[in-house]
Amino acid sequence: MTFNEAYSNEFKVFSEEIYHKIKSFKGCLHLEIYRDLDHPEVFFSYSHWTSEDKLNEYRKSEFFRGAWTKIKAWFSFPAEAWSLDKVI
């Protein structure tokens, strides 16, 4: 996620506030938020879910819609998301 510079610290604070709420969603096994060292307006979230269905339940939740609506206005570029399979 790439934020307008004015909102990068605001997102950091917001992510700290909602971290435990996300982690408490049924199916969330792991969550980390990273910030690019050279580009402090760029953040990555890295999460593990028990299944894609549980991830999709989270994405369809009222909580996610509210949080996404708030931070989407702060983006300087559209966010990207990937679902991955572990190879090794």
Using one digit for the tens of pLDDT, what is the confidence trace for 8-55?
Answer: 999 999 999 999 999 999 999 999 999 999 999 999 999 999 999 999
Q: What is the mean pLDDT of residues 70-81?
A: 96
Residue 67: alpha-carbon gap to chain centroid: 9
Judge whether 88 lies within some domain. Answer: no
How far apart, in whole angstroms, are the C-alpha atoms of residue 55 and residue 26?
9
Instruction: Establish if 80 belongs to a structural domain.
Output: no
CB 15 within 8 A of CB 43: yes
pLDDT bin (cut points 50, 70, 90) of residue 67 is very high
pTM above 0.85, yes or no: yes
Phi, psi of 80 (to 5 degrees): -120, 150
Could you tell me the residue range of the domain that residue 54 belongs to? 5-72
Question: Does a structural domain hold residue 27?
Answer: yes
CA angle 61, 66, 69 (to 5 degrees): 120
- Domain CATH for 36: 3.30.70.100
86, part of any domain: no
- Region 62-67: mean pLDDT is 97
Domain count for the chain, please give it. 1
Dihedral sign for Cα 82, 85, 87, 88, please. Answer: positive
Residue 83 domain-assigned (yes or no) = no
- Report if residue 82 sits inside a domain: no
The C-alpha atoms of residue 22 and residue 66 are separated, in whole angstroms, by 13
pLDDT higher than threshold 90 for residue 86: no
